[in-house]
Amino acid sequence: MQKISLAIHGGAGTILKEDMTPELEKGYLKGLEDALAAGYAVLEEGGTSANAVKAALVILEDNMLFNAGRGSVFTKKGVQEMDAAIMDGKDLAAGAVAGVRNVRNPIELAMEVMRNSNHVFLSGKGANDFAIKQGIKLEPDEFFFSQFRYDQWKQIRDSDNYSLDHTHQQLEELMKDKKFGTVGAVACDCNGHIAAATSTGGMTNKKYGRIGDSPLIGAGTYANDITCAISCTGHGEPFIRSVAAYDVSCLMEYKGMGLQEAMNEVVNIKLPKLEGEGGMIGVDAAGNVALIFNSAGMYRGARSSDGTNYVSIYKDNV
Ligand code: ASP
């Protein structure tokens, strides 16, 4: 019998238990559980994997704790510019947006690009115009304001630094207990079709219209029924350079690797050579899931009709 499965992430990075308060930890776990429940409900009702990943991401985008949609980080100019992508493994349909503003759920806009445009990737003002034309929900700037992201940005806005919302260098101290992240989901539905979706506010203090791996088909997001559906999180530049999500698919298609083995090769062997910190979640058309990261933690969760059901944050659990 076809296994249905959903896996989600809420970002990977230097996420350490000692930096977390019990309340914050609870908040993250609850956010992940809510997203799993929403996405899995779609699969249980016989819905498509594309609708399931979208449903999970809408919940995470609406949750202030995650760096996507409402909780997006501030750019150098003090605004939010969001990126998102979705891909359907059934027919290789894909939709993506980059640098959009005031869109409540960028993943809905990406879905709209996939389903109701002749294009795959829209950016900036054009993407916003398309959102208005399609009746996608917009919100004022205040809706996206969060004090901790503002404080996080204030500390570096006068510098040339930009920061992964998770980790790093001189920002490590500053970022403690504010470990955050891009969100993603992968799913396998009752017809054995798979899909992937990723949504992000990108990196704090980013400028020049910087775009990461998340909305790039093949880098941060990819799905193909014959191999896998993958959503990545981490320092976007190395993920782009290694075409990380598609590389997993290639290792499966051309080298005959299994999902777990292929993901492990990319996350733990190839990406570290480019100092690529982060992780990814994956599913194949048999409903097998894998969640792999080379950082200290990754907000994550999985649920499947084989009884798998968990949410987790640090390296040592599940
Ligand atoms: N990969 C995302 C980016 O580089 C960031 C993240 O995963 O948190 O934009």
- Helices (H) and strands (E) counted in the chain, each on its own, are 10, 12
Side chain identity, residue 137: K
Residue 81 tokens read as: 């510019």
Q: Is the CB of 203 under 6 A from ligand 1?
A: yes
Q: What pLDDT, on a 0 to 100 scale, did the predictor assign at position 171?
A: 42
14: annotated active-site residue:
no
**pLDDT tens profile 285-317:** 999 999 999 999 999 999 999 999 999 999 975
- From 1.10.645.10, 3.60.20.30, 3.40.50.300, 1.10.490.10, which CATH number describes the 5-314 domain? 3.60.20.30
Q: Crossing angle for the helix pair 106-116 and 49-62, nearest 10 degrees?
A: 150
Task: Find tokens 């203090």 and name the residue.
Answer: 205
Q: What is the pTM of this model?
A: 0.92
Q: Among the options 14, 48, 167, 182, which is catalytic?
A: 182
Mean pLDDT of 65-85: 89
Task: Please give the number of the atom of ligand 1 that sits closest to the Cα of 237.
Answer: 4
Rg of the chain over all Cα atoms, to the nearest angstrom: 17
Q: Is the CB of 165 under 6 A from ligand 1?
A: yes
183 backbone dihedrals φ, ψ, rounded to 5°: -120, 155
**pLDDT tens profile 29-38:** 999 999 999 9
Q: Is the CB of 238 under 6 A from ligand 1?
A: no
Residue 223 tokens read as: 């799905």
Q: What pLDDT, on a 0 to 100 scale, did the predictor assign at position 111?
A: 98
How many percent of the chain have pLDDT more than 70? Answer: 92
Task: Please give the number of the atom of ligand 1 that sits closest to the Cα of 210.
Answer: 9
Task: Please give the number of the atom of ligand 1 that sits closest to the Cα of 236.
Answer: 4
- Give the residue among 166, 185, 199 at the shortest CA–CA distance from 61: 199
The dihedral region occupied by 55, where left means phi > 0, alpha psi between -120 and 50, and beta the remainder, is alpha
Ligand 1 centre to CA of 166 (Å) is 9
Are the C-beta atoms of residues 278 and 294 closer than 8 Å to each other? yes
